[in-house]
Amino acid sequence: MPTDTPVNAPASPADPSESSLGRVVAVRGSVIDLVFPDGALPPLREAVEILWDGPERLVAEVQAHLDAGTARAIALQGTSGLRRGTMARATGGPLTTPVGAAVLGRLLDVMGLPRDDGPALPADTPRSPIHRAPPPLSRRNPQRELMETGIKVIDLLAPMARGGKAAMFGGAGVGKTVLVMELIRKMGERYTGISVFAGIGERSREGQELWEEMRRSGVLDRTALVFGQMNEPPGARWRVGLTALTIAEHFRDEERRDVLLLMDNVFRFVQAGAEVSGLLGRLPSRVGYQPTLASEIAELEERVASTPGAVVTAIQAVYVPADDFTDPAVAELFSHLDSSIVLSRAMAAEGLYPAVDPLTSTSSLLDPLVVGETHYRLAEEVRRTIAHYRELQDVIALLGMEELSAADRLAVRRARRLQRFLTQPFVVTEVFTGHGGVSVPLEDTLKGCRAILDGEGDGWAESAFFMTGTLDQVRERDRAGRTP
């Protein structure tokens, strides 16, 4: 990688001023202690460039002042080979990232450097600091409108908002990334704005799959991808979300274009912050998390905002450690969202995909004043029916269906058909399942659920409802299954 790639605009590394020069006095993994002349100590969050002879440019972010002349910084790249006495230069401002049309179709790292083996970004590409205040309340657009996804269970029970924030919560292996990738494809087909993807603590395999999927779906040319991979230092994983958010804010504020911001995985952002906090010697808080957990999450989430003329719609994946939804990081994230889509391990074990739990998934848009009285009442009735079935599952397991009343048996049959009707094959999983992906309009989803609750499908085979689209397709599958 060329060593003359600019990191920040304020100063040139070829001609550093004496007042901005410091010296490395200690290196402990990603933590670097730097001494500067009197009166030249860089402020917190300023980027400091280490003038070493390593293979790549090394930049650190100031996190603490130890005394009047010593700063403690967190490196954003590996520090292997760094020695005491190495000179460092204060850049005069926070880390910046390239923004604008030049980053579309490119894969960048936390500093905005291309990592896709493509050409260097043009020299005149504008840059923006990754640290900035969220838009004031007076400039925000409070209006929310429904955004159809074509995924039945989401549109029915946890509708998403254009200009809102939605997150998929779940443990390992329940389908968060697959659901995010399917939403990327569906939004790309019907969404004409810009997409920005932040891969926070991503595995290289997942990043490669996402890159190939976006290329196949034809949305790569209007998408910017920013990755801080799992093998990178915690400082990179901690700040990569802010880099992606800065790119999204530029399109929103300067070019007045709608932006779809995708983040996978926000828990890795929290995890990286906990690592940084530990490296800096701060005492941990609840469950070992950093004491600044709430403020760090708010700093990221509150910048995801819409302004008049342009909106930022955020879709996030959140790993739930040990399936514990009372985890402090998970509980804190819930409070910032418009739609919370909870994935269930029990449903995934039954093969009911997408494994969205209909009882715990919620949305602030599921209100009769927003979605209408018909949609709201139908969603509540679907929830009640499935909840009643779950209450009876222990009785069924112990005594069998025969011990239930006729009304309860009917409710169970309809709940099981509803659960299967809300499953759906995805385009991104066609190569694994052999089922062609489908997208279902909200109107057809509502009609299908209403018909099942009214008993129209009572005589149809349960298997006909599984992994299909509209009720008409269920009917055709049932007829085909009965034809000798």
Q: Which residues are catalytic?
A: 176, 202-203
CA distance 142 to 249: 17
Three-state SS annotation for 368-415? HHHHCHHHHHHHHHHHHHHHHHHHHHHHHHHHCHHHCCHHHHHHHHHH
CA distance 164 to 199: 20
Give the count of beta carbons closer than 10 Å to the beta carbon of residue 252. 23
Query: At CB < 8 A and 24+ separation, what contacts does 292-297 make?
Result: 293/328, 293/329, 293/332, 294/332, 296/269, 296/270, 297/270, 297/329, 297/332, 297/333, 297/336
CA distance 24 to 32: 7
Instruction: Report residue 7 as tokens.
Output: 């990191």
Instruction: Report residue 85 as tokens.
Output: 């006495």
The DSSP line for 442-466 is HHHHHHHHHHHHTTTTTTS-GGGGT
DSSP state of 15: S
